[in-house]
Structure 1
Amino acid sequence: MKHHLKPSRLSLRDVLGVGAVGLRARRARVVLSALGIAIGIATMVAVVGLSESSRADLMAQLDRLGTNLLTAEAGEDLEGNRIKLPKSAVAMVERVGPVLHATAAADIDARIRRSDLVPQERSAGVIAQAVHLDLLTTLGGEVDQGSWLTPAGERLPTTVLGSVAAQRLGVNRTGETIMMNNTRVVVVGILRPLELVPTLDRVAMVGFPAAEQHFGFDGHPTTVFERSTDAAVEDVWAILPRTISPGNEAGVKVSRPSDALAAKAATNEGLTTLMLGLGAVALLVGGVGVANTMVISVLERRQEIGLRRALGATRHAIRLQFLTESLLLSGLGGITGALLGTATTYGFAHAQDWTAVVPPWSLAGGLAATLLIGVLAGLYPAIRASRLHPTVALNGT
């Protein structure tokens, strides 16, 4: 009675053991090969993490600032002249039911200088505007130094500077004076940056009555700011031009400042796609490095392969050995890259005062890509090793 011997199967522990032999014997080569994989994975994880962190910060800004602010600006006529909005524009907007706040600002003809020693033609790149007292409430702005205009102060030659305007004029504290045309004006406040309306950061603001008394302002606003309920934003947008300027609604341009932050988030998505492509290229280069390492490993270990085959190792066992070695090599690079990418994301987010966000899918996707690279890179060397004849392999030819 004949008994056919069946080849024994390698346990998972044995497979990992024989797969790690080549890695332990050639540590320098392993580190360099894994580095290519690590760079690719780190790039992809960091790009996704930083993009998501930036987007989360933008969304937090939108939640904090609100998306219900609309601005209506005076356009130009056929001759290119600025159209004048009615003096009653704010009052008419406030009559619309869903409107919560409405205010206005207006450009005034005043050259701004640090002092009377500076020639009028050498302005500091700061413009002057007349504003209502409720401007700060409507825009959600905050005073950094000093105070906002008061009912008494809006009639006096006093001003509140935007953050950029204060820097350009060299005003570091309240109580200092600047020149607006030939009028000396006292700085009573400096604002923090206005994220929704950054153009006001470069403005010196005075009250409507003071602008009319000291700078020949005619009282017509150039910009109307309006906040409504979130649900009514689109409806208010549709009627705002004809509410502000009945019969000439084409001369009123309405925009939503929060759209700029939303557009920035969309831009980040496009940049993320581009950077992910670069990370994929780096990962591909790393995979080629792993494949090269495995091919060289097979050539250098022909006698080892021949000896194992002579001792009874099957072709399947040889294939499994080198495929496992390739997977371990890629996995080492993938784990290292994931850790580096995560650390980079948290470090940069902390420096930018963002909330660090590393999506779990980016880590899982990176590790899955690593395993796929390991399989593809090790498949050909593993098949080549398994096809070596024991006698030829032992002879080293």
Structure 2
Amino acid sequence: MLIALPGSHARLGDTLAEAWSNLRSQGRRSALALLGIMIGTASIIAMLNSGHMAQRESLKLFAKLGVDMLHVQAAPTGDRPALLSQAMIDALPRADPDVVEAIPFASNRAIARAGSKTENLAILGAPPALAALAKLRLAAGRHPTAIEDCALSAVLGDAAARALSAPAAAIGPGSKVLVGGYGYTVVGVLAPSTPETLDPVDYNMAVLISLGCSGRIIPGGGPTGLLVRLRPGADTAGAGERITARLTTPDAKLTVLDARSILRTMQEQKAVHSRMLIGIGAVSLLVGGIGVMNVMLMSVMERQREIGLRAATGATPTDIRLLFLVEAVLLTVAGGAIGSAFGAAIAWAIAHSSSWDFDLAPWTLALGPAAASGMGLIFGLYPAITASRLNPIEALRAD
């Protein structure tokens, strides 16, 4: 019910209270208009936060190594093994100003045996410096040292150690493991780790041995790839081209995995999907705004006599416009606030189902009510102007 406001200008608190009372009196009609705003806002908030969390998860793929990294892998071009020059790899930090560190490695797969347990594991031959570069943490024991370059010492991944352990004989430092016909002494067991894009192998299911005499169980006996740490901010693509040109041999074709390029591609793909879904949410919000305008126009038509009474008792067109505009904004802000809460809940469900860490972008929670209030101003303006232009005499005669 429209109430005449004292004076020519109403206090904002009175206007808000009256607007809320009018919206409540419209019952289901207001609720349906609010629902459209709520759905649109929830869609946008959910998609923005899903994109935010997906970006954080993408960064986790390079958490250990960082983004200033290259993974260079050699593939054979013929029947001969694809071996790289150890001397040229060692010279890279001196030859290229962007290279901070270059760690060679060789990898293969082999059957490992401990007692009655056997498992097909990844075999990685690498110098001791790899453990520091890849931040490989130990659950037990130690990493091999430089003087063990040709010793039969090995470090097992967490899952590999468990796979080779018998119920009453857990594999740990001091245990013997047969790999490729050679008996290796386990000197350490790695703590569980999350596989990353640039890892040469899944360390959890791997046997790490020294590179020096890795030819015992890895064909070729030399490096077949390398991890390169670049200076921060270096041109990774340019560095990759220079390293490829320097290390390529007639027997090896080099492939370079660039952390920054991989991350950029992943983020671009996610951005395309997010924009598409946000566009769908924006259409829903637009439809909700049109619903609000329809509700407000119907309200103007039904309340003509009350509008005429207000005008006859001294209310100005500005007072009338303000009341209807406040009603529209109040309706959309309420829908935006509820929609933001629902959007956050949807984002949590997406994170939970994807095994992501739930992390809301704080600015998105303010975006929902702000966007909704903007829709209220846009779509409430026409009904408000229509109400303010009614002729008081004709409005008082309305049934």
Q: TM-score range by the shorter chain?
A: 0.7 to 0.9
Aligned equivalent of 1:254, options 253, 256, 264: 256
Distance 2:260 2:112 in 1: 30
The residue number in structure 1 matching 2:246 is 243
Which runs of no fewer than 5 residues in structure 1 stay unpaired? Answer: 1-6
Query: Over the residues paired in the alignment, what is the CA RMSD in angstroms?
Result: 4.2
The residue number in structure 1 matching 2:110 is 110
Aligned equivalent of 1:207, options 210, 222, 246: 210
The residue number in structure 2 matching 1:304 is 306
Distance 2:286 2:71 in 1: 49
The residue number in structure 2 matching 1:334 is 336
Distance 1:179 1:395 in 2: 101
- Within 5 A, what are the aligned runs for 1:16-165? 16-26=16-26, 29-52=29-52, 54-55=54-55, 65-77=65-77, 79=78, 83-96=82-95, 98=97, 99-108=99-108, 110-112=110-112, 124=120, 126-151=121-146, 155-162=150-157
Distance 2:323 2:60 in 1: 51
The residue number in structure 1 matching 2:172 is 174
Report which stretch shifted further, 322-331 or 50-59: 50-59
1:357 aligns with 2:361: yes
Alignment check: 8 A CA contact 2:137 2:190 kept: no
Partner SS, residue 72 of structure 1: strand
The residue number in structure 2 matching 1:197 is 198
Q: Deviations over 1:330-364 (max 9, x none)?
A: 122234444665687799889955765323xx566
Report which stretch shifted further, 150-159 or 55-64: 55-64
Alignment check: 8 A CA contact 2:165 2:171 kept: no
Q: Deviations over 1:259-287 (max 9, x none)?
A: 33343333333333223223213312322
Distance 1:265 1:144 in 2: 34
- Structure 1-normalised TM-score? 0.74
1:275 aligns with 2:277: yes
The residue number in structure 1 matching 2:3 is none
**Counterparts in 2 of 1:83 and 1:333: CA distance versus 1, 3 Å:** same
Letter matched to residue 141 of structure 1: L
1:22 Cα offset (Å): 0.6
Alignment check: 8 A CA contact 1:240 1:254 kept: no
Letter matched to residue 190 of structure 1: L
Distance 2:330 2:218 in 1: 79
- Structure 2-normalised TM-score? 0.74
Report which stretch shifted further, 169-178 or 304-313: 169-178
**Counterparts in 2 of 1:272 and 1:167: CA distance versus 1, 3 Å:** farther
1:76 Cα offset (Å): 3.4
Partner SS, residue 75 of structure 1: strand
1:221 aligns with 2:220: no
Distance 1:250 1:155 in 2: 25
Letter matched to residue 289 of structure 1: G
Distance 2:300 2:163 in 1: 68
Distance 1:80 1:336 in 2: 66
**Counterparts in 2 of 1:59 and 1:85: CA distance versus 1, 3 Å:** closer
**Counterparts in 2 of 1:68 and 1:378: CA distance versus 1, 3 Å:** closer
- Within 5 A, what are the aligned runs for 1:373-392? 373-386=375-388
Q: Deviations over 1:216-267 (max 9, x none)?
A: 643221102222433665564343234334x649833333234333433333
Distance 1:94 1:373 in 2: 58
Letter matched to residue 253 of structure 2: G
The residue number in structure 1 matching 2:268 is 266
Alignment check: 8 A CA contact 2:62 2:196 kept: no
- What percent of counterpart residues are identical? 28
1:190 Cα offset (Å): 2.2
Distance 1:100 1:197 in 2: 17
Which runs of no fewer than 5 residues in structure 2 stay unpaired? Answer: 1-5
The residue number in structure 2 matching 1:286 is 288
1:189 Cα offset (Å): 1.6
1:370 Cα offset (Å): 1.9
**Counterparts in 2 of 1:47 and 1:29: CA distance versus 1, 3 Å:** same
